[in-house]
Structure 1
Amino acid sequence: MKWIKPAALLIFAGLLFTGCSSSENIEETFPMSMEIEEFSAVNQDGEAVTLSGLKGRITFADFIFTSCDTVCLPMTANMAHLQKKLKEANLEEDVKLISFSIDPENDTPEVLTEYSQHYEADLAHWDFLTGYTQEEIELFANRSFNTPAAKVEGSNQFVHGTSFYLISENGTVLKQYEGVSDPPFDEMIEDIKKLN
């Protein structure tokens, strides 16, 4: 009967290990793993928003600017649709939406508030961010999201990525999705459920 104790210990250790790996390593099942640099911004209400403040909550992010005359319009409309889908799935309390302006000189909190109203954004769960320099947001987008955010010379327009980014509670970019035409909303909802 002496063999029972070591066997029981092995089974217990196996269960313990399995339990830890399933909860802690779920992020490894996603295609990306990019750590976001700390940032300091203000939202449409002039309130400070930082990476540290977002940690502990799943986040979707994108990059826009209010005078954009092309992709930002459908992107913001699609983010608003994502917000509605989150409400329908009872996930609105679990997820934060953030839209970084890449034109901080013109996109003041007041301008962002007015912009958000066109899309009936629920600002309790969606922040439109500004309050940094043009150089800071360009570097941040490049380094943390591997996406461009550059002003077009001789124009008031900007080159920027058109993806929605899923960010874990730990501040890691896990996945990007099409943000302009036909975003995979159901897939996005399912991915959030995996992380919950």
Structure 2
Amino acid sequence: MKKLMILIAVTLLLAACGSEPDGPPVSGFTYTDQHGEEFSSSELEGKVWIADFIFTNCDTVCPPMTYKMADIQSTLKEQGLDAEIVSFSVDPEVDTPEKLSEFLAQFTEDDSNWHMLTGYGQEEIETFAREEFQSLVNKPEDADQVLHGVTFYVMDQEGRIFSEYNFTEEGVVDKIIDDVEALQ
């Protein structure tokens, strides 16, 4: 019994310890933002950023995900924390810069630190999401909806995943704010 209690205590202690991100940084990319301008991963170097995958004609999770991300954005500003937001479109052939801009305007008036990206092919974003974020993206043939994950990724200044949360997770906004603050 004593050994079991020691094992439990050590396990809890190790679980409480923070860990450094150990994965490689996200590979470099250059896409097009909601203003029709080129946006490159080099613009995120040395910055904390939060990423997700969405599309503008989504019938289910994308509007509430984007609403939650807008809540994160306003909380960051209220607390004086600096972080960029990057939303990758998973339906790039439909999501033009204009559509991304119109979609974002439904959730925030301030897009100064929010980059909604397109300008790549469907296969490219599916590969990018899978290889860089271990996230499934799949647009079935003849469908207007795209299957994709509902994760928010907090990225460190080196472009590595620091933490990730399902957007429906209880307290997700506070958890992400805490992570951004820890990285500052």
Q: TM-score range by the shorter chain?
A: 0.7 to 0.9
Identity of aligned residues (%): 41
CA positional deviation for 1:154: 3.2
Task: Give the aligned partner of residue 194 of structure 1.
Answer: 182
Task: Give the aligned partner of residue 37 of structure 1.
Answer: 27
Equivalents in 1 of 2:162, 2:76: separation in Å? 18
CA positional deviation for 1:181: 5.3
CA pair 69-45 structure 1, distance change in 2 beyond 3 A: same
Task: Give the aligned partner of residue 102 of structure 2.
Answer: 114
Report if aligned partners of 1:71, 1:180 keep a CA contact under 8 Å in 2: no
The code of the aligned residue for 2:161 comes to V
Superposed CA RMSD? 1.6
Matches within 5 A, 1:121-132: 121-132=109-120
- Asked if 1:100 is matched to 2:88, the reply is yes
Report if aligned partners of 2:21, 2:160 keep a CA contact under 8 Å in 1: no
CA positional deviation for 1:183: 4.9
Show structure 1 runs of 4+ deviating over 4 A. Answer: none
User: Size of the alignment, in residue pairs?
Assistant: 167
Task: Give the aligned partner of residue 9 of structure 2.
Answer: none
TM-score normalised over the length of structure 2: 0.85
Q: Which moved more, 1:63-72 or 1:151-160?
A: 151-160
* Unmatched runs of 5 consecutive residues or more in structure 2: 1-17
Matches within 5 A, 1:20-99: 29-30=19-20, 33-91=23-81, 94-99=82-87
Of structures 1 and 2, the larger Rg is shown by 1
Equivalents in 2 of 1:153, 1:67: separation in Å? 16
CA pair 56-75 structure 1, distance change in 2 beyond 3 A: same
CA pair 121-169 structure 1, distance change in 2 beyond 3 A: farther
The code of the aligned residue for 2:33 comes to N
CA positional deviation for 1:189: 1.2
Deviations 1:58-108 (A, max 9, x none): 0000000001100111100000010111011111xx200011001110100
SS in 1 for 2:181: helix
Task: Give the aligned partner of residue 172 of structure 2.
Answer: 184
Matches within 5 A, 1:105-184: 105-180=93-168, 182-184=170-172
TM-score normalised over the length of structure 1: 0.80
Equivalents in 2 of 1:55, 1:101: separation in Å? 21
* Unmatched runs of 5 consecutive residues or more in structure 1: 1-27
Equivalents in 1 of 2:134, 2:122: separation in Å? 16
SS in 2 for 1:35: coil
Q: Which moved more, 1:121-130 or 1:98-107?
A: 121-130
